[in-house]
Amino acid sequence: MTTKVLIADDHALVRDGLRQIFASASGFEVAGEAFDGPSTLALVRSTPANVLVLDLSMPGRSGLELLKQIKDDKPGLRILVLTMHAEQQYAARAFKAGASGYLTKESASAELVSAVIKVAAGGAYVSLAMAERFAQSLSEPADALPHQRLSDREFEVFRRLCAGESINQIGEALCVSAKTISTYKARILEKMQTPHEAALVRYAVRHRLFDDESDDL
């Protein structure tokens, strides 16, 4: 049986590399590709497939919101997140949003193929390193930390603020107005009980939230 795969990533080189990986492995067919949020939604709505390999950092909207929308539209489609974000907190939110697997782009091609096979068969997949992070989190206090009280959109804005993006840049990336992002920022500061943006960055560093943050959002 051939596993039909969809690829969604905003970098052409990444899509080319993924296509070559699946072409060299037996039993796979790349049924379509997308490069941003709207094209991904159009693709999954029009093209039957078993697994979507999804980048969470494409232009158009929050990756977590896009993931939720895809699952609402196509609940039977299995989704493997392939991303630069290696943070346990981000992975946990992805699974809650409907992902069946979570893999970083540093992973070897053989692990990617194994992950797609497992996800297509109805299982869940995380790397060994990510599984260890999840296990460690089980021993943490039950009381939610301030960043865990953020909504997915607020968490995305929080991440981008800590990466040094301006209000205007975040608004452009998420396709909303700068005023809306300013509102999100105010909510984040309130929920995190921090007085300013610099304190948010210090909090993120102290809790090692974005240690593996890529410059390429």
Q: What is the pLDDT of residues 79-125, one digit of tens each?
A: 999 988 766 777 888 998 999 999 988 888 999 999 999 999 999 99
Domain boundary, last residue among 137, 169, 192: 137
Closest CA to 113 of 51, 55, 58: 51
Are 150 and 133 contained in the same domain? no
Predicted confidence (pLDDT) per residue in 162-186, tens digit: 999 999 999 998 888 999 999 999 9
35-42 contact pairs (CB < 8 A, 24+): 35/8, 35/9, 35/10, 36/10, 36/60, 37/61, 37/66, 39/8, 40/8, 40/66, 40/70, 41/66, 41/69, 41/70, 41/73
Look at the block and give the residue holding tokens 């939604």. 41
Residues 124 and 68 in one domain: yes
Q: Higher-confidence residue: 139 or 191? A: 191
Based on the domain organization, do 47 and 125 belong to the same domain? Answer: yes
Residue 108 CA to residue 177 CA, distance in Å, equals 39
Q: Let me know if residue 213 belongs to a domain.
A: no
How many domains, the chain?
2
Here the tokens at position 104 are 């970083």
**φ/ψ (deg, to 5) at 159:** -60, -45
